[in-house]
Structure 1
């Protein structure tokens, strides 16, 4: 379930409250009072067999005695009675329940489990238990025991904490900030973050979504819903517990670096959410994003009548990593013409303390029309020489008169009016200017706008293509891991680690095993003869960090030093770890790269989000240095480069002094390969390459460790890696298909890097065919338009391209987008105009329908223009039901009931005829 029946939660036609009493401070009575005071238009019933009236409403003994059928039931009875009340609600046809009662327990045999077992089979949606309730001001619904009702507005608030939700409602009321809805999740037995993100992403009353999160239970569902919502509107999140010590038990350096909050941060970033660190920041972000759509760039111009506050704003901007716009000569000349000679002639544009409305108008108009900035922060300090209200009126008038189109109209303006009073602030608010109490708050609000733009751009960026030689030997790697697991081991030995990385094309120094000092000398001899020093390391499945037992010796240049070092390592390990299994030492050639950077790269395992890719500064003190960044797999090269850029060590990957730049693409490719390894071999739980040396010639792993564990099997049907929360590229849907007359084509899922492929394809499609596909004339294909076709969440949608063998030219494409409830999917298809009649569209439709069956969709549907006879004929042949759209006589609705099948099986199509 996802958005199923949520209209009964947020737009119910009738409400019943079970458990109210006459006691003044009882939860149930408060809910009834709040419902009445909010002005809910539908019938409200109260169920209590002990009292005849509550809040002047006649009560009934049972839900079945109500004179109407309640759509939403609010339950505040004692915990032991809740399951029976829910069973009664189901019996009378209720579609949803808000359970505010706490104390239902957790785990097998609990009242919570009983409640779930009763509600789920009947599709009754449950908010809570142990929650504050639900508020939807636009429909007069306040089914909560909050002390204050929220004002109507366009912010949706979803909170795991009832106390936080109530506090934010109070905060918003004091600042005239309204909500489209407020939901307290409580124990989230059924309705959770994923469901509500899907709902509010489509809600026309919601401009932005605010989340207060303590933990995520259904990470895969959350990530899919969050990515979809973030493409539609701003989603701002604050999470508590940032400093939890989640990495104490990690065995590898990468595991220790991947603390729980850092993984949440990586997840929010990948989903496109804007994370803030405190509740006041949540509303500062909402204030900015609620007024302003976006910023075209990151350069801020500051206009002020007070030089000191302007300098403070600059300081805060630099602290937060912002960019102060530089005024070009043309802008300075234009300002010279309208401002007194004493103006600052730089940014901040200080128009002096006696600045009147006319001076504000002239300066703001100039900055808005200038191309050297992307946003303007206007500030006013009250003085006896001018009127703050008149200055606000001037700013508002400029904004209201600017033309609707063009760069000036898109440029955001923010305000700080110190001591300006309610009249000035109200005038600015009416003109759509977000105002802030201080210059620091305003700059912080502006950075949210820039970060949101960057997040949205990142969601749309096209990654570079992987190199043609990106080939991995998955079978060989899986065999290595399977062999170790068969022996009951938790760690791969060094030879197995080398074989695993070799299978993925990750360079690593060769290694030889030696059981004793004599064997170590024999293994080192060929290297020493070539003049290559060697390194020795302890080999024990029970000693993960070798340096803990002084188990590493470097730069050994003679047989005598090798013998002595081997004997010392073995003796020291046995002394410090007498219980450890000591298998000998490993012998490695010394890799001397004077100008190489020491990095760390690897995989960690998170209990909530599964595999995580870790990158940062390497060496033995990685946890102390703590220069790392995390990302959720799968990765492409763009995401890998972005991961690298979020570390401090990325700066020294560039050239400096006499040190050439390191091959950053080679580093990024290692990260992509590690993400692929995590997808291919779920038994790999932690992987640690430390150090990974990088210089101008590429990369090489000097040491690596790999922890493994049996794979429990998929958590859901279909071939989706059960431990990934973001579905990786579905390689299993690649096909080779035979067309008429012996021709063939290859079919594969769309990749994010396919933008150029689509551009070339659209050049081969006639204007008429484009009109039939998109229902309107399409003359320009923007990057954003094509990005929406190629940047897919494979958990929700699939797009398949047909390619010509050899040339790789695109012949056609089909897509299927599943609804939030995974019940129905909407399709679209387009074939090159010069290749119609070759069976391309037919074969694409067959594979698309097969995919729909594999993920359990009940139906595939679409809309086809009535004049598109070819498409309608093919739909009929495939067994689609064709019917006229009731709302548009030019459109036909086509629907196919799908027989479910496992991935890879052929789905039988009713009415299907051979090609």
Structure 2
């Protein structure tokens, strides 16, 4: 991942237009015209051997003839010319190029490679960044830079728009111009040969001119890079995604239930949610959401209060809200009494609050404060239809200051045309979004609700994991290795259940029988009643061919069931190689719900975890939620809560609630299994019985794929291999990466610090860690950051944190910014040197060029620590601070 030389792309001092032309309606002519008319103040150099002058500018015959190396080159010449041009530009010192030419993937260059690959190979030695190919270009309206062949320009604004579709680029520009929407950056991604979504998210996350990021996405290739960049960007500003292809067929041909249910669009949805972004369904929603979220106040819940001057408007809004899964706020008695004092006696005493079509301005102003202050509502929707009793403009003027000062979000709908247009303009100038219909206003509210849920998941501190033994990883690796060595791409029922048991997932006692007599013997050992299942690798869904018999109470019943089963299977599937039977202790749990828990391999995002209602009709019910591993308790609970079966699991009538912690723990363990075993391609646990007593897996199937990549997960899991034991002060320390579940111990660690140590670490007095701060410190992206803690057992037997060192690498992996702090009562005992040495070892191994950091001048301890490892301390431009640097190319000497 890299944003190297992006300033040359977005802030160039000079631009060469290679292929500029005066041929009417050509790309070269449109590009030159756009550059000339945009108001760009830098140098513009047309390049085309056919002309000496273009649009009043000197035209150069070739790149070599340019006055100097252009900072940005825009190329619209034939495909075969592109690699040589890139090579020449790179040699001259150009750092960025936009390639508008299409068809590079189908044309061959020398050596059998495509022109596309030859272009990338030519750019690599010079670190020349390429936007495209097949890009419409980019616009930076604040600079007057219109390096595109779009039919119109853009006005300045705070929205960055990145599109994978050239057609949508031109359409959105036209729509935005008509609606007065401006942009900080407007980028046509094209073929994303070099610059991709991940790179642009990294750049835009730190762009002060950008307040919100909008993405139009068709597909992804570098999922891990995208997820890392998206999670960083979404923590700083709204990121809204319009993903095309929602109805596209997913993994319909998958052999497992999990593969069939997941589907590519469901996985994209899970990834967008996991990154804290918001997904929308249309280009109009994209910009409405950007406007809504840009002005939205923090909102903790999803209860909506509605006030209207027309009962019909309230009904329309309520229908839209309930249909979208939203909630009407239930007005408290105190709120109803306050409203009763200012509204006519006939008001409905409920939400929506209808103040009447004859309401004058004073009634509006009297009804709003009780609703704005009502603790039972999280937001207020104001609905207004034109009325002869009050001017819409006057009403908007009165509403604007109330809405701005309100402690919660206020959304408004002004139904109508010319009469209410001034009201919308008044609110727009006040930075308050308004909507044309009740349905659109409700959609905006639900976007805030979903966005806040996604953000909460991004920031939420998960509960501690239930106490459990560590997975028996070596046992599972041995089972998988033996199967692959035997040429098997699928584990049998017993082997699959052994794998689950090794990861702490309860399984029913199951044994494999060679034939009917062996099955009878095993059933006698297990004890009746038993279940009998046919064992044939070609029959993943045994019940489809009558290959399952339950509640067999006697040997005679088992023998009869086996005979009937063999006859039926041989008739329906004569091609299936029968390998015997699985005999299983009958699990009688009449109050249990049947769930499916599984793993499927997505071609883009790698392994994904699925949960939903199980049983034989699993594809018909299609009840599932998808999540990206790794998982924690918060993420697992969110997954489970998104299923329809969650309502049944919560208990109803005389049925007690299921043990949700046990289900969530199963999801976490399955995710960990997917992360640990690279060869795991698909996993089905169906059914997983869940009731108040816990869970038990009755049937499991695992499909293997040899040679899978170990880095296939879209989010890097906890790097267990970095855990280390060290002797210190006569005891044993554990040095390991921090985990989200360390939050309680980290909070205790912070509270044990001397206030002066806190000031030296954070550069200011910090009395307590807010939940969002705690989440940022404990929930890190292991792919670009690392935090090591030193921990040991405390007096209460629980692990206590003694010190922490952390660093975050820039997207180019050149520099990692570090910080370190040790518990105040343990300073001066060498713990800081142990932690810092661990950090140096890690970042050197990942190829980072240097560690750097800032410290207060009086923080002599960290300055001494850095020097002891061969680092340097420099004066900083900021008064009272110093800059710390440690080169990592050569091994650092340990402190004496």
Q: What TM-score range do you get, normalising by the shorter chain?
A: over 0.9
Partners of 2:793 and 2:389 lie apart in 1 by: 77
Match of 1:370 among 374, 378, 385: 374
Instruction: Flag structure 2 segments of 5+ consecutive residues without an equivalent.
Output: none
Shift of 1:362: 2.9
Partners of 1:380 and 1:440 lie apart in 2 by: 13
Q: For residue 289 of structure 2, what is the aligned residue in structure 1?
A: 285
Matched, 1:791 2:786: no
Matched, 1:853 2:844: yes
More displaced 10-residue stretch of structure 1: 466-475 or 699-708? 466-475
Matches within 5 A, 1:731-750: 731-739=720-728, 741-750=729-738
Q: For residue 170 of structure 2, what is the aligned residue in structure 1?
A: 166
Q: For residue 461 of structure 1, what is the aligned residue in structure 2?
A: 460
CA 1:838 to 1:139, structure 2 compared with 1: closer, same or farther past 3 Å? same
Matched, 1:760 2:748: yes
Instruction: Give the TM-score taking structure 1 as reference length.
Output: 0.94
Matches within 5 A, 1:138-157: 138-157=142-161
Instruction: Give the TM-score taking structure 2 as reference length.
Output: 0.96
Matched, 1:665 2:654: no
Q: For residue 567 of structure 1, what is the aligned residue in structure 2?
A: 563
Shift of 1:557: 2.5
Partners of 2:748 and 2:775 lie apart in 1 by: 14
Q: For residue 886 of structure 2, what is the aligned residue in structure 1?
A: 896
Q: For residue 895 of structure 2, what is the aligned residue in structure 1?
A: 913
Shift of 1:322: 1.6
Task: Give the 3-state SS of the residue equivalent to 2:740 in structure 1.
Answer: coil
Task: Give the 3-state SS of the residue equivalent to 1:579 in structure 2.
Answer: coil
Task: Give the 3-state SS of the residue equivalent to 1:60 in structure 2.
Answer: coil
Partners of 1:244 and 1:159 lie apart in 2 by: 19
Q: CA RMSD in A?
A: 1.8
Superposed CA offset, 1:618-662 (max 9, x none): 111100110111111011122111111110111111222222221
Shift of 1:399: 4.1
Partners of 2:684 and 2:759 lie apart in 1 by: 53
More displaced 10-residue stretch of structure 1: 658-667 or 742-751? 742-751
CA 1:293 to 1:179, structure 2 compared with 1: closer, same or farther past 3 Å? farther
Q: For residue 716 of structure 1, what is the aligned residue in structure 2?
A: none
Q: For residue 809 of structure 1, what is the aligned residue in structure 2?
A: 800
Task: Give the 3-state SS of the residue equivalent to 1:815 in structure 2.
Answer: strand
Q: For residue 650 of structure 1, what is the aligned residue in structure 2?
A: 646
| 8 Å contact from structure 1 (residues 294, 449) kept in 2 | no
Q: For residue 104 of structure 1, what is the aligned residue in structure 2?
A: 104
Shift of 1:415: 4.0
Partners of 1:517 and 1:163 lie apart in 2 by: 65
Instruction: Flag structure 1 segments of 5+ consecutive residues without an equivalent.
Output: 403-407, 714-720, 901-907
Shift of 1:760: 1.3
Shift of 1:228: 0.9
Partners of 1:526 and 1:831 lie apart in 2 by: 58
Shift of 1:536: 2.0
Superposed CA offset, 1:656-679 (max 9, x none): 222222112111111111111111
Shift of 1:296: 4.1
| 8 Å contact from structure 1 (residues 617, 625) kept in 2 | yes
Partners of 1:295 and 1:805 lie apart in 2 by: 39
Matches within 5 A, 1:662-741: 662-713=658-709, 721-739=710-728, 741=729
Q: For residue 427 of structure 1, what is the aligned residue in structure 2?
A: 426
Q: For residue 834 of structure 2, what is the aligned residue in structure 1?
A: 843
Q: For residue 478 of structure 1, what is the aligned residue in structure 2?
A: 477
Task: Give the 3-state SS of the residue equivalent to 1:191 in structure 2.
Answer: coil
More displaced 10-residue stretch of structure 1: 375-384 or 635-644? 375-384
Q: For residue 905 of structure 1, what is the aligned residue in structure 2?
A: none
Q: For residue 77 of structure 2, what is the aligned residue in structure 1?
A: 77
Partners of 1:153 and 1:339 lie apart in 2 by: 42
CA 1:656 to 1:26, structure 2 compared with 1: closer, same or farther past 3 Å? same
Shift of 1:860: 0.5
Match of 2:391 among 375, 387, 411: 387
Partners of 2:229 and 2:390 lie apart in 1 by: 51
CA 1:874 to 1:441, structure 2 compared with 1: closer, same or farther past 3 Å? same
Shift of 1:549: 3.0
Partners of 1:583 and 1:335 lie apart in 2 by: 74
CA 1:621 to 1:97, structure 2 compared with 1: closer, same or farther past 3 Å? same
Superposed CA offset, 1:786-836 (max 9, x none): 111111111121111112345422211111111122221000111111111
Partners of 1:325 and 1:593 lie apart in 2 by: 39
Q: For residue 247 of structure 1, what is the aligned residue in structure 2?
A: 251
Superposed CA offset, 1:99-151 (max 9, x none): 11111125962110111111122111000000111111111111111111122
Q: For residue 772 of structure 1, what is the aligned residue in structure 2?
A: 760
Partners of 2:12 and 2:706 lie apart in 1 by: 48
Shift of 1:546: 1.6
Matches within 5 A, 1:254-293: 254-293=258-297
Q: For residue 416 of structure 1, what is the aligned residue in structure 2?
A: 414
Match of 1:819 among 802, 810, 813: 810
| 8 Å contact from structure 1 (residues 14, 43) kept in 2 | yes
CA 1:868 to 1:349, structure 2 compared with 1: closer, same or farther past 3 Å? same
Partners of 2:280 and 2:213 lie apart in 1 by: 13
| Count of residues in correspondence between the two structures | 888
CA 1:863 to 1:396, structure 2 compared with 1: closer, same or farther past 3 Å? same
Shift of 1:410: 4.8
Task: Give the 3-state SS of the residue equivalent to 1:809 in structure 2.
Answer: strand
Partners of 1:814 and 1:220 lie apart in 2 by: 24
CA 1:36 to 1:422, structure 2 compared with 1: closer, same or farther past 3 Å? farther
More displaced 10-residue stretch of structure 1: 468-477 or 769-778? 468-477
Superposed CA offset, 1:545-583 (max 9, x none): 223332222232332332233233334333433333222
Superposed CA offset, 1:830-862 (max 9, x none): 111111111111111000111111221111000
Matches within 5 A, 1:170-569: 170-399=174-403, 402=405, 408-419=406-417, 420-527=419-526, 530=527, 532-569=528-565
Superposed CA offset, 1:397-434 (max 9, x none): 4346x3xxxxx345444443533344222211111110
CA 1:332 to 1:517, structure 2 compared with 1: closer, same or farther past 3 Å? closer
Task: Give the 3-state SS of the residue equivalent to 1:754 in structure 2.
Answer: helix
Shift of 1:520: 2.2
CA 1:568 to 1:297, structure 2 compared with 1: closer, same or farther past 3 Å? closer
Match of 2:621 among 625, 632, 636: 625
Partners of 2:521 and 2:373 lie apart in 1 by: 77
Match of 2:637 among 631, 638, 641: 641
| 8 Å contact from structure 1 (residues 355, 386) kept in 2 | yes
Partners of 2:301 and 2:623 lie apart in 1 by: 28
Task: Give the 3-state SS of the residue equivalent to 2:248 in structure 1.
Answer: coil
Q: For residue 904 of structure 1, what is the aligned residue in structure 2?
A: none
More displaced 10-residue stretch of structure 1: 841-850 or 467-476? 467-476
Shift of 1:779: 1.6
Superposed CA offset, 1:409-465 (max 9, x none): 454444435333442222111111101111110110111112111111111111111
Superposed CA offset, 1:449-487 (max 9, x none): 121111111111111111232421111111011100000
Task: Give the 3-state SS of the residue equivalent to 2:626 in structure 1.
Answer: strand
Partners of 2:450 and 2:494 lie apart in 1 by: 45
Superposed CA offset, 1:728-772 (max 9, x none): 111112122223x53442222111122221221122211111111
Shift of 1:370: 3.3
Shift of 1:166: 1.4
Q: For residue 114 of structure 1, what is the aligned residue in structure 2?
A: 118
Q: For residue 781 of structure 1, what is the aligned residue in structure 2?
A: 769
CA 1:397 to 1:512, structure 2 compared with 1: closer, same or farther past 3 Å? closer
Partners of 1:476 and 1:217 lie apart in 2 by: 34
Partners of 1:728 and 1:549 lie apart in 2 by: 39
More displaced 10-residue stretch of structure 1: 497-506 or 827-836? 497-506
Q: For residue 576 of structure 2, what is the aligned residue in structure 1?
A: 580
